[in-house]
């Protein structure tokens, strides 16, 4: 199968592309920063081209190069906060529209895109219960409202044109090389792995990490089916406070220097109780145990730094 990955040289894209190629697919990756990832180990199955999702012609060009059976859009502005609304709007909203419209015009029926857990907003909106895909969306940040609108855009293309479009709401994706988006739960592992001190404002702040290899597997499975039962799915993850994550890191690195300014923070946490049964059941997914993933991240970082690996 031929697959076009938009925004594929970032954090999640290269892992997804590797998984797609391992299953015998051919990938064209279009990214505004094409040199940010290395694909030479995957041979001729991957072509990387430079292109900007805010430019409709760039997506049309990429489709003409790839002749894809599937398109996935991962291109987005992460970690931009509330600044630069024009750039955010063009990349997040117009970019998504360009993707859907080009797919429609050029007859590519299957499209997958990344929404986010951010659409749900604070856990306090729901109380102490799991949140599913039918619950209300209370996210108020620029990022969250754009993801919410992306889900609306997808619904319009599904309803009006019959496209097979599926959105995934990843939770807090973690991995050794994550630098954009939510990074406190990442730095709680990676900085101690390097022997560096790290501190956070709140010990009870909750997160819902999912390892980048697990979310890449989610995207791969959802992309490779012709259609999904639902238009959008929660990835879910492993609900954990930063304090408990620090304790887990100390099981592997007893000298880890992780500090907290305050005890609380739970009540200020984003959505961390998530029902992902829809996704896990339909796509027969299980995630690796989170403790094992923490150890993997520690050792990925230590291998990069030339430090001795730690054992479980
Ligand atoms: N990483 C997370 O924790 C997380 C959580 C929830 C949702 N998501 C979503 O998953 C998707 C991928 O996330 P990621 O962590 O790989 O992000 P990333 O920032 O690492 O990757 C995004 C890629 O998009 C590219 N890009 C930016 N502007 C572009 C443009 N105009 N044209 C073409 N490409 C452009 C970037 O160069 C980058 O390679 C995003 O939509 C993100 O919002 C990520």
Across the range 122-144, mean pLDDT stands at 98
Average pLDDT of the residues of the chain = 97
Q: Is 216 in the pocket of ligand 1 (CB under 6 A)?
A: no
Q: Is 208 in the pocket of ligand 1 (CB under 6 A)?
A: no
Ligand 1 binding pocket mutation candidate from 57, 78, 145 (most atoms within 8 A of CB): 78
- 3 state SS of 211: strand
| Predicted TM-score (pTM) of this structure | 0.98
Using one digit for the tens of pLDDT, what is the confidence trace for 1-31?
999 999 999 999 999 999 999 999 999 999 9
Q: Where are the alpha helices (DSSP H) in the chain?
A: 13-22, 56-66, 85-88, 95-105, 142-161, 184-193, 212-224, 242-252, 277-282, 290-305
CA–centroid distance, residue 79 to ligand 1 (Å): 10
CA–centroid distance, residue 12 to ligand 1 (Å): 8
Task: Please report the pLDDT score of residue 52 as a whole number.
Answer: 98
CA–centroid distance, residue 10 to ligand 1 (Å): 6
In terms of DSSP bridges, do strands 110-114 and 164-170 run parallel, antiparallel, or are they unpaired? parallel
Q: Are 130 and 271 in contact (CB under 8 A)?
A: no
Task: Please report the pLDDT score of residue 297 as a whole number.
Answer: 98
Rounded Cα distance between 40 and 169, Å, is 30
Rounded Cα distance between 3 and 67, Å, is 8
Q: Is 74 in the pocket of ligand 1 (CB under 6 A)?
A: yes
Across the range 204-208, mean pLDDT stands at 98
Q: Length of the chain, please?
A: 312
Task: Please report the pLDDT score of residue 312 as a whole number.
Answer: 80
CA–centroid distance, residue 211 to ligand 1 (Å): 16
Rounded Cα distance between 143 and 151, Å, is 13
- Residue whose entry in the numeric block shows the structure tokens 């909106």: 125
Ligand 1 binding pocket mutation candidate from 141, 150, 153, 181 (most atoms within 8 A of CB): 181
Domains and their CATH numbers in the chain: 2-173+212-236 (3.40.50.720), 174-207+238-271+288-305 (3.90.25.10)
Rounded Cα distance between 37 and 162, Å, is 34
Using one digit for the tens of pLDDT, what is the confidence trace for 216-240?
999 999 999 999 999 999 999 999 9
CA–centroid distance, residue 78 to ligand 1 (Å): 6
Q: Is 80 in the pocket of ligand 1 (CB under 6 A)?
A: no
Q: Are 202 and 185 in contact (CB under 8 A)?
A: no
- Residue whose entry in the numeric block shows the structure tokens 């990069």: 304
Rounded Cα distance between 133 and 156, Å, is 18
List the residue whose alpha carbon is closest to atom 20 of ligand 1.
10
Beta partners for 211? 174
Rounded Cα distance between 231 and 163, Å, is 11
CA–centroid distance, residue 295 to ligand 1 (Å): 25
| Eight-state DSSP code of residue 2 | E
Q: Are 252 and 294 in contact (CB under 8 A)?
A: yes
Rounded Cα distance between 88 and 251, Å, is 40
Of 18, 101, 85, which Cα lies nearest the Cα of 53? 101
């Amino acid at each position: 199968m031929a697959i076009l990955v938009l925004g594929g040289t970032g954090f999640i894209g290269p892992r997804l592309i590797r998984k797609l190629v391992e299953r015998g697919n051919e990938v064209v990756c279009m990214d505004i920063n094409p040199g940010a990832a290395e694909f030479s180990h995957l041979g001729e199955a991957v072509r990387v081209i430079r292109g900007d999702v805010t430019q409709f012609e760039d997506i049309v060009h990429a489709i003409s190069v790839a002749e894809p059976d599937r398109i996935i859009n991962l291109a987005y502005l992460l970690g931009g906060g509330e600044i630069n609304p024009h750039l955010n709007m063009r990349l997040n909203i117009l970019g998504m529209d360009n993707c859907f419209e080009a797919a429609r015009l050029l007859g590519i029926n299957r499209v997958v895109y990344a929404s986010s857990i951010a659409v749900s907003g604070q856990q306090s909106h729901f109380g102490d219960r799991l949140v599913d895909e039918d619950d209300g969306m209370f996210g108020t940040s620029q990022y969250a409202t754009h993801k919410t609108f992306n889900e609306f855009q997808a619904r319009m293309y599904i309803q009006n044109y019959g496209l097979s479009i599926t959105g995934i709401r990843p939770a807090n994706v973690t991995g050794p090389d994550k630098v954009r988006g939510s990074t406190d739960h990442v730095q709680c592992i990676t900085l101690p792995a390097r022997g560096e001190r790290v501190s956070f404002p709140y010990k009870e702040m909750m997160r819902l990490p999912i390892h980048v290899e697990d979310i890449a597997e989610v995207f791969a499975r959802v992309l490779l089916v012709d259609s999904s039962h639902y238009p959008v799915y929660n990835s879910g993850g492993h609900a954990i406070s930063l304090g408990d994550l620090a304790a887990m890191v100390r099981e592997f690195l007893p000298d880890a220097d992780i500090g907290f300014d305050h005890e609380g923070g739970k009540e200020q946490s984003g959505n961390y109780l998530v029902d992902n049964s829809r996704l896990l059941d339909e796509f027969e997914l299980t995630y690796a145990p989170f403790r094992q993933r923490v150890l993997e991240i520690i050792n990925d970082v230590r291998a990069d730094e030339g430090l001795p690996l730690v054992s479980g």
